[in-house]
Amino acid sequence: MKAKPQDLLREEILALQAYHVPEASGFVKLDAMENPYPLPPPLRARVAQLAANAPVNRYPDAGAALLKARLRQTMKIPDGTDLLLGNGSDEIIQILAMGIARPGAVILGVDPSFVMFRMIAAFVGVRFVGVPLRASDFGLDLEAVLRAISEHRPALIFLAYPNNPTGNLFDRDALTRIIETAPGLVVIDEAYHAFAAESFLPLVTAHENLLVMRTVSKLGLAGLRLGFATGSARWLQQFDKLRLPYNVNVLTQLTAETVLAEQEILADQASAIRDERGSLFEGLDALRGVTAFPSRANFILFRVNDATGVFERLKQRKVLIKNLHGTHPLLAGCLRVTVGTPQENRTFLSALSDSL
């Protein structure tokens, strides 16, 4: 008798819903917080040249020294810190979770937040505790978080700053209290830093239990799959042992290093997206039956009466956004739209107005 999956796999794995990526060809794609702008042709030509000459017969530089130096320079990473690189910041979350996965360990986050925190906890068999955000404004309920910390003693706390899918920045003093109070590590996930201009990066040398995580994905390089965490070497040297050798491939190393050397290109694109976020917010706010929530990221969360109906009607009009209705009680009626090009945003707003 051969085993069936339910005989061999852990219950948490059997209970998981796979991370769903919808088919998007032919759509105005505003569902995944991608930067809508391509790289300028001269830079693309340089990347093509480098890719043509890349020694793909060899393993990549395991320490990614050039890329790390470039990241330190362009992201202003404080001296005296270590850098842990991942195949996207999703992999960093996984490495950290694997590292602390002792029996009884807990990962704490807030709800609703980035779904991978909870999913990856399940992958590695660690209990996840999600503290609800305030219903009124999706703000952090500091007292509730501090109570949960004292009750569950989490080894790891993940807080996205700005938060996904709500788009807001949590109160800075509240986060500092959490960092000071937590018995374990606190990871501030700054995936949307380019659109928020607020950061805990300068504080990593002041708090040994603080790690700051960033990614190049939302910045305009989602296809490369590159994220990193920075903080104290004492912690990151331990987690680095769990990183698979060569996890950042040679084409990613070359391309990221080259593009980040021209960082003002991505910075200008981010600035255009921030401006466009303002127009998109006004457009949403002007529609009857739509409540839009202020955002410091490159997406906007909004509430409508019949979210699933609106989502489906937008799809019929070839506009793809994200339906969050049903994923958490606080997100009842909520949809999330990524800020696109001015043209894409106009198409979206007009399709939305016809879909309400």
What residues line the site for ligand PLP (CB under 6 A)?
33, 88-90, 114, 160, 164, 189, 191, 215, 217, 222, 227
Nearest distance from C-beta of residue 158 to ligand PLP, angstroms: 9
The span from the CA of 329 to the CA of 324, in Å, is 10
CB of 142 to ligand PLP, least distance (A): 20
Q: How many CB atoms lie within 10 A of CB 275?
A: 12
Q: Please tell me the distance from the alpha carbon of residue 256 to that of residue 220, in angstroms, as a whole number.
A: 10
Q: How far is the CB of 113 from ligand PLP (least distance, A)?
A: 7
Nearest distance in Å: CB 164, ligand PLP: 4
Find the shortest distance in angstroms from Cβ 8 to ligand PLP. 28
Between 81 and 113, whose beta carbon lies closer to ligand PLP? 113
Q: Which residue is nearest to ligand PLP (CB)?
A: 88
- What's the rounded Cα separation, in Å, for the pair 117 and 95? 12
> Which tokens in the block code for residue 245?
């050798």
Tokens at 75, concatenated: 């992201």
Which helix H or strand E contains 85, and what residues bound it? strand 82-86
Rounded to a whole number of angstroms, the minimum distance from the CB of residue 218 to ligand PLP is 6
Using the minimum distance from each CB to ligand PLP, give the nearer residue, 145 or 349: 145
Q: Which is nearer to ligand PLP, 106 or 116 (CB)?
A: 116
Q: Which is nearer to ligand PLP, 148 or 160 (CB)?
A: 160
Q: Which residues pair with 106 in a beta bridge?
A: 127
Three-state DSSP state, 320? strand
Closest to ligand PLP by CB, 129 or 160? 160
Helix axes 233-240, 89-99, angle to 10 degrees: 90
Q: Specify the DSSP class assigned to residue 219.
A: I
The span from the CA of 221 to the CA of 344, in Å, is 19
* 28 or 191: CB nearest ligand PLP: 191
What is the tally of helices (H) and strands (E) in the chain?
A: 14, 13
